[in-house]
């Protein structure tokens, strides 16, 4: 091999390693920032959580709240730990990728959609037909997510590599991006459809209860006779839809 070809190969390897370091650094920054924000928000709301959640009797909504509230903290802590750990950890990365791709998204989807289903079920007077239709939509979404998550975990674990000798790269490294737009599209379509459905159902109920039944609709939006629960449903549902 000529010296020019050798130099070109070395430059390509160096560029790849430099790019990997930059991506890992950006991922670590995002993970730690998200963890700090979640912990800050949790600390701010501890007094109200103790009063309204922790002291209440156990129920399915309480379980869902604690799951959605604190499971992300555990996830971010684990992600930050793995992403900043040096050394040979091939087996750890395999387990980590299965957890990250085939477990965590499904747990969050089940928790979030269960809360939204309970809200819609309450807003629409426990309409069983609507509940069955929404359960079917959520079931389709969850099934496709499980399939995509398992396939993603298989592809990710097959592409895990060890850090080159002498280069202190942390986290789990993947030799190339095994995921394509078409691969994830079929899983995102039901997610977007269900999020839009929950949002429109909540917005329609808000319109029906506040706008259509009020003679002085826009002035009445700030009055105390509007249910704070309905306002919370609309506010949180809107935030969830646009963040999703």
Q: What is the pLDDT along the chain (244 residues), one digit of tens a residue?
A: 456 656 666 666 667 667 767 777 788 888 888 889 888 988 888 888 888 888 889 999 999 999 999 999 999 999 888 888 766 677 888 898 899 888 998 898 899 899 999 989 988 989 999 999 999 999 999 998 888 888 888 888 888 777 666 666 677 777 665 555 566 777 788 888 998 999 999 888 888 777 655 555 445 555 555 667 777 777 777 777 776 6
For the chain, the domain total comes to: 1
Closest of 8, 9, 141, 26 to residue 83, by C-alpha: 26
Region at 85 (left for phi over 0; alpha for psi -120 to 50; beta for the rest): beta
26 neighbors 71 (Cβ within 8 angstroms): no
Q: How many CA atoms, within 13 angstroms, populate the side-chain half-sphere of residue 216?
A: 5
Q: How far apart are CA 59 and CA 83, in angstroms?
A: 36
Pair of tokens at residue 103: 């477990």
pLDDT for 117 equals: 93
Q: What are the tokens at 11?
A: 């430059």
Q: DSSP per residue over the chain, as a string?
A: --HHHHHHHHHHHHHHHHHHHHHHHHHHHHHHHHHHHHHHHHHHHHHHHIIIIITSPP-HHHHHHHHHHHHHHHHHHHHHHHHT--S--HHHHHHHHHHHHHTHHHHHHHHHHHHHHHHHHHHTTS-HHHHHHHHHHHHHHHHHHHHHHHHHHHHHHHTEEPPPTT----S-EESS----HHHHHHHHHHHHHHHHHHHHHHHHHHIIIIITT-TTHHHHTTSTTS-HHHHHHHHHHHHHHHH-
Q: At what angle do helices 181-206 and 128-158 cross, to 10 degrees?
A: 150
Question: pTM above 0.85?
Answer: no
Q: Which domain range does residue 163 map to? A: 3-243
- Residue 91: the pLDDT is 83
């Amino acid at each position: 091999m000529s010296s020019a070809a050798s130099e070109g190969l070395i430059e390509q390897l160096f560029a790849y390693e430099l790019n990997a370091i930059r991506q890992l650094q950006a991922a670590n920054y995002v993970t730690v920032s998200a963890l700090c924000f979640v912990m800050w928000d949790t600390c701010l709301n501890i007094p109200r959580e103790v009063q309204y959640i922790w002291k209440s009797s156990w129920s399915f909504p309480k379980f869902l709240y604690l799951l959605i509230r604190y499971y992300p903290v555990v996830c971010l802590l684990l992600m930050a730990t793995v992403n900043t750990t040096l050394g040979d950890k091939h087996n750890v990365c395999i387990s980590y990728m299965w957890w990250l791709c085939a477990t965590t998204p499904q747990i969050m989807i089940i928790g979030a959609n269960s809360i939204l289903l309970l809200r819609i079920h309450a807003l629409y007077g426990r309409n069983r037909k609507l509940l069955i239709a929404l359960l079917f939509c959520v079931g389709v979404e969850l099934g496709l997510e499980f399939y995509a998550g398992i396939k993603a975990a298989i592809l990710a674990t097959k592409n895990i590599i060890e850090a080159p000798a002498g280069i202190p790269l942390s986290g789990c490294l993947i030799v190339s991006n095994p995921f394509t737009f078409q691969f994830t599209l079929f899983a995102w379509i039901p997610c977007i459809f269900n999020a839009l459905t929950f949002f429109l159902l909540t917005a329609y109920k808000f319109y029906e209860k506040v706008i259509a039944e009020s003679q002085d609709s826009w002035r009445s939006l700030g009055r105390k006779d509007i249910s704070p629960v309905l306002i919370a449903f609309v506010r949180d549902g809107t935030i969830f839809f646009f963040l999703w």
